[in-house]
Every structure is written in C-alpha cells, then in structure tokens.
Amino acid sequence: MGYGRPATVPAVHSGSLCISRTVEGRTANPATRSPGRPVTEDYDEERTFSWMGEKMPDMDTVTDDRAQVLDAADSLFYDHGIQAVGMDRIRDTARVPLKRLYRVFPSKAELVEAYLRRRDVRAREALRAHTDRYAVPEERVLAVFDWLHGWYSLPEFRGCPFSNAFGELGRDSEPVARAVRDHMTAVRDHLYTLAAETTAPDPGSLARQLHNLVAGATMLAAIHDTPESALHARESARILLDALPTRSG
C-alpha cells in the first residue's frame, strides 16, 4: 500500500502466542541463536525494539499518528457508520502504516471509544463557547438551538454521532454505551447550568425538557434532512421560558 515491504523474521512462539516479527532493514542471523530456539532477531544493545520488532517511536511520532488516525476515523465513522469501516480503510485514509496504527490504538474498540470521547469534548466546548457569548440567561438557553441550527445546516451533518454509535454498538459494547451516556449526561448538565441562571423554580425539570427538545430536533433534522427542526425546538423552548416567573428588579 505504498509503505514499502520490510524484511520478515520468522515467528517467535511464546506459549500459545505467535508473534511475527517484522524489522525494516534487518534480518535474523541464524548463527546467533542457541540450539533448539526459534529464529529471533539479532538484537543490537544500542537499539530498543518493541514487541512487534520495530524501533520504538518517539513521542512526537506517536502523537502525530494518533491525531491522524483519529481524524480519519472521525470522518469515516461519522459518514459511513462504525461497522462499515475497517481498520485497513482508516489506515489508507490516515496514511499511517497498519503497525503504527495498532501501536496507538491496539483495537478498533479502543479507537471507537477515543473517537466518541474526542467528539464529546469538541462538541461541548463549541456549544459552551457559543452560549457564553450571550449575557441574558434566557438568551443563552435559546442560543443552544441557534447553534444546533448552524450544525444541522452543514453539508456533512449526519445526525447525532452518539445516537448513531449507540444504535450500532450500544447493546454489545459497554465502552461505547458508557461514552454515549457520559456525553448525554454532560449535555444535560450544561443545560442545567443554563436553566439554573433563569428564574426556573425547578432547573432540573427545565433542563430535562430542553434536553428532550435537543435530542428530538437532532433526530428529526437527520431524518428529514433539514435544519428547520432546530427552529421549531427553539420556539418550544421560548414557550417554556415565557412561562417562568418574572425576574424581580
């Protein structure tokens, strides 16, 4: 796939585990092995190799690989679905060799969870930055739906990535289910913070109602392929706010 073909060293058996060592630019030296032992690499004391037989990468390389893989997975998982995308496709999109991909994410399950966790942080930071632009508490609440309208209007919008992931894997993957629930709880907590700044006598109740509006609007926007549901949800939120006690002073 354009990454070159390193020399292959025969497998090293350890119990029931069989590890195939692949070392770029080096071959096993049969003369250095002890009788009865499988062929292994002729190690150089000045070079440190990983369990896969490669020189351990520096931290900058690992960080870059992780970012590239996550960027590729984010786009592919969201556009096509998690189960429809294999690690080979992520490798090709990220332009990271498969061994290095598995070094930063030893399994697809770990990559899926990292994808969801990063999505969670980025989405909530963007939403908070948008609502913080408004001084009046009620305007901050309504700004949530303005932000959603902007998101739904993007050509790459494919619905809620967390609902999508839960629909695919939530019943079979506890890490996925936990990441989705954590996100939903964090969004509700943010809505509670906004609700508590209004005159709502029960901020928790208002936050739950707002959360239902957010979730419903997101689902409808994806199904009907239109951002208008955000505006309809905004009107419903306005009705809830108008029914609150008048602010004194």
Express each pLDDT in 76-127 by its tens digit.
999 999 999 999 999 999 999 999 999 999 999 999 999 999 999 999 999 9
pLDDT computed for residue 249 by the predictor:
58
Can you tell me the distance from the alpha carbon of 199 to that of 190, in angstroms, rounded to the nearest whole number?
Answer: 16
Least confident window among 11-25, 92-106, 170-184, 190-204: 11-25
**Residue 125 region by backbone torsions, left for phi larger than 0, else alpha for psi between -120 and 50, else beta:** alpha
55 has pLDDT over 80: no
The mean predicted confidence, pLDDT, of the chain is 82
Question: Which pTM value belongs to this model?
Answer: 0.75
Can you tell me the distance from the alpha carbon of 228 to that of 9, in angstroms, rounded to the nearest whole number?
Answer: 60
42 has pLDDT over 90: no
pLDDT computed for residue 57 by the predictor:
53
Can you tell me the distance from the alpha carbon of 232 to that of 228, in angstroms, rounded to the nearest whole number?
Answer: 7
Cα 35 to its chain centre, rounded Å, is 49
